[in-house]
Amino acid sequence: MMLASLIAILMVGGIAAGFLARVNQTACRWLSLITVTIAFGIILFIWIDEGLSMTLTDSWLRDLYIPWIPSFGIAFHLAMDGLSLLMLALTFFLGILAVLVSWKEIQYRVGFFHFNLLWVLAGITGVFLTMDLFLFYFFWEVMLIPMYFLIGIWGHENKQYAAYKFFIFTQASGLLMLLAILALYFIHGEQTGIYSFDYFALLNTTLTPDTARWLMCGFLIAFVVKLPVVPLHTWLPDAHTEAPTAGSVLLAGLLLKTGAYGLIRFVLPIFPEAAASIAPIAMLLGVVGIIYGAVQAYSQTDFKRLVAYTSVSHMGFIMLGVFAFNELAMQGVVMQMITHGISTGALFIIAGVLYERIHTRDILRMGGMWKKVPFMGTVAMVFVMASLGLPGLGNFIAEFMTLIGAWQANKLLTIIATAGLVFATAYSLRIMQKVFLGKNIEGHGITDLSLREKFILVPLCIAIIWLGLFPQQVINTAKPTVANGSHAKNHAAIHNRTRTDNVQYTSAFDTERRKP
């Protein structure tokens, strides 16, 4: 029930915040802050409660199963394992920051803004939790609409274009995934006579190699567009650039991660052979993304656009790691998901903070800010360094593990990917140089971070350093998911646990099914 309550809290909170804003805008902000904090608290509670003592056999923490559309074998099935837990922790952490970051920035239609914000979070939560493919698609789409509004209403100059592009790219790919899901559903149904969208049921589908490849492509395309992988990335720079700060944070920090999550959760377990067969291509795409994103990032003059392209580059590592098929790389990927969320989110926040002060995102018009805003400069330095993969910060752990894992799979590509780190250095340092160092050309007189902004950025700093120095907890939490090939199938184990939620638990496998 706790899992469902996570989603419910956010949704209800969103609606409440939307109405509350008519009365009092500040109250609305506080309400959404409290809502997300409660969700974060729940996740921390679960983590502390049992995440710290996870073992390989006991990897599913919570499970909730409510039949929804029995005639199609669709259920409201949520389940949580270490990976979901990590992703949710990240979600709510960034969610809190997103609310905070909008405190001053959003002065227009505050209620509707927070409604959308919380619903995006709810959608993302659903994506990370659901174990029913129909429901997954459902949430997958649900998170897009509010995101679209966030970009389209509170974005910058070219917001409509960016919002369209974002929406259409993700929708198109999502629909292809829906096709694949449906095909899988029918194939599984014809094989077993059980028509079900349940993840754990569909895992057992036997597919011919050809079918598997096609179906996987359907899933893959949705995830790689979201990730994004070159050449399907072009929505991302626009969307990230035009979105309001909170939107950029959520986009970069969370939405991209849903793609990576999908790869780990669905593509690999459901289509292991097919995934293995395209691994070289996928890794190649990852490497292309790393290099291409870096090269593109270097030439950008728009701060947010630059950061957006760095995302493309960083997400290449995820592609590389996921298809390396070993635990190290996979751990690296999980780590990358988290650290990238933090570091890129922070960079977007810095861009937003700067934009609030000098009303431009053009880095050619910045420069020499350090003297005025040393604190901001220091913080920025931390995240710039994180983005170039400096050891001691979280990103390094992620990239190092990914690369060392990828090396076992494909040496040449790993070499190129590693070379990408040099490019990463080039663009990262360019940010520092153009924004904070050099001369203050336009003579902007700006003030350093306010208390609220410090309250946003300092936890991020601490998080990224903490992850760089003490990543083991995260690795342990993710371990059951990524280390154990049959992890997903261990789900049955949870049936025997007494400590499931209070709901009458119906098995995933004996609901009424129907042959259409």
What is the footprint of another protein within residues 137-156 (CB under 8 A)?
137-139, 141-142, 144-145, 148-149, 152-153
Nearest to 392 by CA among 310, 466, 315: 466
Taking the C-alpha atoms of residue 160 and residue 145, their distance in angstroms, rounded to an integer, is 14
Considering the rule CB under 8 A, would residue 485 count as an interface residue with another protein? no
Considering the rule CB under 8 A, would residue 323 count as an interface residue with another protein? no
Nearest to 113 by CA among 263, 243, 266, 232: 243
- How near is the Cβ of 152 to another protein at its closest, in Å? 6
Taking the C-alpha atoms of residue 154 and residue 314, their distance in angstroms, rounded to an integer, is 27
Nearest to 88 by CA among 257, 310, 222, 240: 257
Considering the rule CB under 8 A, would residue 328 count as an interface residue with another protein? yes
Binding-residue total with another protein (CB under 8 A): 95
When the beta carbons of 463 and 494 are compared against another protein, the nearer one is: 463
- Judged by CB under 8 A, the residue of 415, 459, 490, 505 near another protein is 415
Read off the DSSP letter of residue 371. Answer: G
Q: Which residues contact 255 (CB under 8 A, 6 or more apart)?
A: 124, 143, 147, 226
- How near is the Cβ of 381 to another protein at its closest, in Å? 8
Show the tokens assigned to 130: 């659901």
State which of positions 418-477 bind another protein (CB under 8 A): 418-419, 421-423, 425-426, 429-430, 433, 436-440, 469-472, 475
Taking the C-alpha atoms of residue 309 and residue 234, their distance in angstroms, rounded to an integer, is 10
Q: Which stretch binds another protein (CB under 8 A): 2-10, 31-39, 350-358, 406-414?
A: 406-414
State which of positions 344-373 bind another protein (CB under 8 A): 368, 370-371
- Judged by CB under 8 A, the residue of 183, 203, 279, 358 near another protein is 183
Considering the rule CB under 8 A, would residue 230 count as an interface residue with another protein? yes
State which of positions 97-126 bind another protein (CB under 8 A): 108-109, 112
CB 300 within 8 Å of CB 309: yes
Q: Which stretch binds another protein (CB under 8 A): 39-47, 163-171, 356-364, 495-503?
A: 163-171
Q: Which stretch binds another protein (CB under 8 A): 47-55, 57-65, 135-143, 257-265?
A: 135-143
- How near is the Cβ of 303 to another protein at its closest, in Å? 14
State which of positions 34-93 bind another protein (CB under 8 A): 68-72
* Token pair 């897009």: residue: 144
When the beta carbons of 46 and 288 are compared against another protein, the nearer one is: 288
- How near is the Cβ of 199 to another protein at its closest, in Å? 18
In what helix (H) or strand (E) does residue 221 lie, and over which residues does it extend? helix 209-226
Considering the rule CB under 8 A, would residue 407 count as an interface residue with another protein? yes
CB 445 within 8 Å of CB 372: yes
Taking the C-alpha atoms of residue 229 and residue 278, their distance in angstroms, rounded to an integer, is 15
When the beta carbons of 42 and 176 are compared against another protein, the nearer one is: 176
Read off the DSSP letter of residue 198. Answer: B
- How near is the Cβ of 29 to another protein at its closest, in Å? 20
Taking the C-alpha atoms of residue 365 and residue 375, their distance in angstroms, rounded to an integer, is 20
When the beta carbons of 33 and 288 are compared against another protein, the nearer one is: 288
Instruction: Give me Rg for the CA atoms of the chain.
Output: 22
Taking the C-alpha atoms of residue 28 and residue 25, their distance in angstroms, rounded to an integer, is 5
- How near is the Cβ of 168 to another protein at its closest, in Å? 6
Q: What is the dihedral of CA 259, 265, 267, 271, to 10 degrees?
A: 180
Considering the rule CB under 8 A, would residue 490 count as an interface residue with another protein? no
Read off the DSSP letter of residue 491. Answer: G
When the beta carbons of 391 and 485 are compared against another protein, the nearer one is: 391
State which of positions 82-101 bind another protein (CB under 8 A): none
- How near is the Cβ of 78 to another protein at its closest, in Å? 16
CB 218 within 8 Å of CB 176: yes
